[in-house]
Amino acid sequence: MKAIFVDHFQILVDDDMFDELSAMSWHVVKVRNVFYARSGQTFMHRLVMKAKRGTIVDHVNRNGLDNCRNNLRIASSQMNRCNCRQDRKTTPYIGVSLTSDRNRAKPYRVIAKKEGQKIHLGYFESGIEAARAYDSYALATYGAGALLNFPISPTQN
């Protein structure tokens, strides 16, 4: 892995793509809340993946400046939405919120989404218990591409 520096940003690329990509003029743009590398109208991640128009390229680790092939994947729009950052105002966990009735025995609520529909998975005593319930649902629904609260390392398979 090598880095291309643009202003104060570091863009990560595979060794075999470094010469080709560093010869181009890149600038960093912010799209919503993510920074990406762009040359003219071409985004670096699309060039690396040789993506056709209409194809979605997803950054697995959600770092738009990490354009190594092992961090990029062709994704469906649903998979891409599942991998976006979520607003976590009441808990640090994906899909878990603290109910307004914090005195109840199980104040942590889990809501997941499937095909745009919200699915209520239940109430739990602790945030960790709720996060594990969300992870179980996400793995069963989305498989290895699921965004998890407690990622599974390759040695845990």
Regarding whether 71 and 38 lie in a shared domain, the answer is: yes
- Give the model's pLDDT for residue 146: 80
Q: Indicate if 99 and 127 belong to the same structural domain.
A: yes
Considering the domain architecture, whether residues 76 and 18 belong to the same structural domain is answered as yes
Claim to verify: residue 63 and residue 120 sit in the same structural domain: no
104 plus 42 within the same structural domain: no
Taking residues 114-136, what's their average pLDDT?
91
Same domain membership, residue 100 and residue 127 = yes
Q: Does position 156 have pLDDT exceeding 60, yes or no?
A: no
Q: Are residues 75 and 95 in the same domain?
A: no
Overall domain count for the chain = 2
Q: Which two tokens stand for residue 5?
A: 């520096």
In the prediction, which pLDDT does 8 show? 92
Range of the domain at 7: 2-80
Question: Could you give the 3-state DSSP secondary structure of residue 140?
Answer: helix
The residue whose two tokens read 């990490």 is 66
**What is the rounded average pLDDT for all residues in the chain?**
88
Above 90 in pLDDT, residue 4?
yes
Whether residue 113 is predicted with pLDDT greater than 70 in this model: the reply is yes
pLDDT of residue 107: 92
* pLDDT tens digits for range 47-83: 999 999 999 999 988 899 999 999 999 987 777 666 6
The verdict on 69 and 121 lying in the same domain is no
The answer to whether residues 68 and 115 belong to one domain is no
- My answer on whether 29 and 93 are in the same domain is no
